[in-house]
Amino acid sequence: MSRVGKKPIPLPKGVKISIGGELAVEGPKGRLTVPIPNGVRLVQKDSTLEVEREGDQYAALHGLTRALAANAITGVSSGFTREMDIVGIGYRADVKGRIATFTLGYSHPIEFYLPDGVEMRVDKQTHLVITGHDKQALGQVCANIRSLRPPEPYKQKGIRYTGEVLRKKVGKTGAGGK
């Protein structure tokens, strides 16, 4: 039996679910839908949601569906947050409405459009706090922002996740071999 799949999902107050061809979750932060694959069904018992499967051939989908449903319920009730740091002299970010502007050492500033459901706050011009109710969309936005200037291995300059461990390479050592 799937260890992830058999764990019940608690439903917090203020979260409404409806089970049909897909799971629709609505809460104070927004609304999300999770597809329910064939061979897996969702059952609401009291204030918990349980995932059941029809046979062992659906084991992988069992755990996946449970994880996606739990992420949707957590997202609409409390939301998700990712933090990023910009490292480098003159590198900074600014947000005006739905457009984030990055200065990352290129000849021009980069404008990045934030999709609906994803908010960004900039602290001290180099610390980004990105929040949203959809975990997948939030992770994709963070990956796209990081790809604007990934950390380089020698001086570690670029955009990184807060707490990300990077391996630093040793540079050249000087006198050649003649």
177 in a structural domain: no
State which residues form the domain around 149.
80-161
pLDDT at 143 over 90: yes
125 in a structural domain: yes
Report the number of distinct structural domains present in the chain: 2
Instruction: Encode pLDDT of 49-106 as tens digits.
Output: 888 888 888 888 888 989 999 999 999 988 999 999 998 898 999 999 899 999 988 8
pTM: 0.85
Whether residue 44 is found in the same domain as residue 72 = yes
Whether residue 85 is found in the same domain as residue 149 = yes
| Mean of pLDDT values over 28-40 | 89
> CATH number of the domain that 89 lies in?
3.90.930.12
Among all chains, which residue has been given the structure tokens 């570690």? 156
Task: Write down which residue in 53, 77, 101 finishes a domain.
Answer: 77
| Summary mean pLDDT of the chain | 87
Whether residue 104 is found in the same domain as residue 140 = yes
At 177 the pLDDT is 56
At 7 the pLDDT is 87
